[in-house]
Chains A and B, each alone.
Chain A
Amino acid sequence: MDTTVINNFKSEEYQINMGPQHPATHGVLRLLLTIDGEIIKRVEPDLGYIHRSIEKMCERDSYQQIVHLTDRMDYLSSHINNEAVCLTVENALQLEIPERVKVIRTIIAELTRIASHTLWWGVMGMDVGALTTYFYGFRDRELINDIFEETCGARLTMNYNIPGGLMFDIHPNFVKRTKEFIDHFKTKLPEYDLLLSNNIIFRKRMEGIGILSKDDAISFGASGPVGRASGYSCDVRKHHSYSAYDRVTFNEILKTEGDTYARYQVRILEMWESLSIIEQLIDNIPEGEFFTKTNTVIKLPEGEYYQKVETARGELGVYIVSTGTKNPYRMKFRSPGFSNLSLLNHIAVGGKIGDLVATMATLDLVIPDIDR
């Protein structure tokens, strides 16, 4: 080894590879850790293990096809990803979208958010060593997946949105089962607090580590629960309202601590808000068409279009540059996971290995979202 490489390290430091196959990275993320004993000195993410070059594929595909690529990005909020692309295309075409579609999209998006957060909660517990949480999270997520399956025919990559509306109308049971789920989940969500949130070991593990200040959160482009836990009001649903979010009342959960426990709490409280949004809409789904007819070949007028939505992980931006043909000239996805990952080094340095795992769990990284 040449001396320059050796000189980059202090004598006690060593490097280990966390990943690409590692239980805590939830996918194929590789972190190159520089460690002194147990203390993290530097975290360098190495990406690209499942990069599928979705942006390049978009330049070749039609807009209807692009929708199907997006739920392979953040597969836990696949519906919201689909919605983002559809909204961009609809805005570009200046289509009038039926009210029914807007409401259904919002309900399903919030169900998706709860499903994503329950899965996150289960995995979060597992990362700090409480294995039972995983099954509790999955028990409740399963019910949402059943609702999706009935309406969309799929449980994970739903592809329910098309530019112009929805692929088909909701299943007759949809309203009934969603209400049943709300009643069920309202009794189960307090269990989450009983099992994990108020556990003394868990609190000690989470409080005061991985602190992200508000200014840093903005500068790092943190969004979603990560940004809101630092007191940064970044809810796209509030600031750039879309679909039916302007007709419901809900609170944007803000915490000021910016530590791992604040990020945890924001997600738990967000599930309550999502429940309240669904409750407000579920009885008032307007009658009408479930799509607006579009041309079979969609050609966007020349120009640039940008649309942001709030996925379960934060702000997803879709940027389309069109030259008037049936394919986009350039398509860019600003994914929340990518920005949230970039701040990992900033907040994990100085902590222990256990802290890194807990911090990473509350960033809620989904690797295909980062490796688009």
Chain B
Amino acid sequence: MTNEALQNLTSSWVPELEFTEEKSQFLNITVQPEQLHSLMTQLKSNSETNFDYLFCLTGMDWGAALGVVYHLESTTHRHQIVVKVKTEDRENPTFDTVCNIWYTAEFHEREVFDFFGIKFNNHPNLKRLFLTEDWDGFPLRKDYVDEINMIIK
């Protein structure tokens, strides 16, 4: 399916999607946190899109907003798409989990929780994956400071 067709199809499911293809090799969809789970379910289950392979799940800190970037691919149609979700809330950022849609998200979301402090609703086992339970702060955020261990040039 071409990017254009994908855009038309997905915008008919969920309102308030932002589409862009600039500065990226994929079609980027930005979705509101509330609609994330329903969009993802559609993308996976709809036979025309059938995005059954979540090949990358990245936590992001855009400075003002925190968010998650999902790279999706369909193993039947071989088309790819990027879904982004953002929140301005840096104190208590929360999204819905997608690990009931793609099992691989369970570990990736734990990684994001570990390094960005983004919480995922309904995640079965949301605890720190790499760092110890008592680690202070979230290291991959841009405002993280550790004067002892970090070497900044």
Contact = CB atoms under 8 A, between A and B. Distances in A.
Interface of A: 47-48, 51, 53, 55-56, 60, 215-216, 218-221, 232-234, 239, 301-306, 308, 315, 317, 319, 321, 330, 332, 334, 338-339, 341-343, 346, 371
Contacts of B43: none
B26 interface: yes
A330 B61 contact: yes
B52 A303 contact: no
A338 B53 contact: no
A47 B55 CA distance: 21
B75 A334 contact: no
B103 interface: yes
A220 B103 contact: yes
B52 A56 contact: no
A239 B73 CA distance: 12
B75 A306 contact: no
Contacts of A305: 24-25
22 contacts: A47-B129, A55-B140, A60-B151, A216-B103, A220-B103, A221-B53, A221-B54, A233-B75, A234-B75, A303-B22, A303-B23, A305-B24, A305-B25, A306-B26, A317-B55, A319-B58, A332-B56, A334-B55, A339-B107, A342-B103, A346-B103, A371-B130
Nearest to B74: A218
Given A48-B129, A60-B153, A332-B58, A302 B23 contact: yes
Contacts of A232: 75
B24 A317 contact: no
Contacts of B65: none
Q: How large is the interface on B (under 10, 10 to 19, 20 to 34, 35 or more residues)?
A: 35 or more
Contact of B71 (A218, A306, A330, A339): A306
A317 B55 CA distance: 8
A342 B104 CA distance: 7
B106 to A, nearest CB: 6
B151 to A, nearest CB: 7
Q: Which residue of A51, A301, A308, A334 has the most chain B CB atoms within 10 A of its CB atom?
A: A334
Q: Which residue of B61, B102, B107, B131 has the most chain A CB atoms within 10 A of its CB atom?
A: B107
